[in-house]
Structure 1
Amino acid sequence: MKNYLLLILLVLAVSCNGNAQRDQEEKYPLTKSEAEWKAELSPQEFQVLRKKGTEPAFSSELNDIEEPGTFVCAACGNALYRTENKFDSGTGWPSFDRPIDEDSVDYRPDKINGYSATEVVCANCGGHLGHVFNDGPKETTGKRHCINGVAMDFIPDNE
């Protein structure tokens, strides 16, 4: 009888978690199956955007971009950030003090190494971008959107 009850509890726990994740993904305008994302994204993009991975610090060529332009979601092309809001945080990841507008990204509660954090996701496809912290430039927003470079593409203004 104990084994039967444990099995029921396990099934309930797994099904609740699965439904919560599915509900979270379905709230975004662009939804695709895991297989579709896997076929469209590079392995590193898939790991970061769909599995909440983190690229190695100082590995993104987007860290050095200073020319005017727009950073867009690598999965769906949604405009996320502008160069004028980018700053060198010294962390090794592209950092911005704000998104293009508050409708371009979404925020979710998250944990990083057991600490509470705020995850930043693409408001169009729900792809994991990075996290937002309250240690950004005090003269602007005070926020630091610490974003994985592999989660974005850059489009210069002159293109």
Structure 2
Amino acid sequence: MFKINSKFILDNTLVSVTYSSSCYSVFRDVKHGTESGYNNYQLQRLHKKGLLKPMVFSEIDEELARATYAFLAESQKRELNIKIALVNQFIAAPVKAGEEANQLIGETLKLLGEDCCVGESTVRGWVTKYRKSQGNVFSLLEGRRKKPNFAS
């Protein structure tokens, strides 16, 4: 089953899920509005061929990023850029736990010119938080709460 309104790339076309059950799903072409239904067997075959991929908003428009990052302090901008890079690496190339994941983290941090150390479980937590927020990069910032925390 797929989450309704989640986005996928199906045969190089951006689609969203309009209906999904345990054995059948319907996808709507975002651009043209046409719908197509697939059973799970068809979807598994398309996924194995690389024709069905979840849509991840990994590329951020630079003008939009500059406008939305304007209110952040420089340290928060740096922190957010590191987190986005690591999250995108883990989403783009799912890796097994252990040495492979730590190597990917180290290489990514070297490319960014950072000398800090980040744990694998921390990055996996960021990936989970990013996915739960449906691609909201600001969910990766620390200290963001739904309700204010007032001291009494």
Q: TM-score, normalised by structure 2?
A: 0.24
More strand by share: 1
Higher relative contact order (CA 8 A, sep 6+): 1
Q: TM-score, normalised by structure 1?
A: 0.23
More helix by share: 2
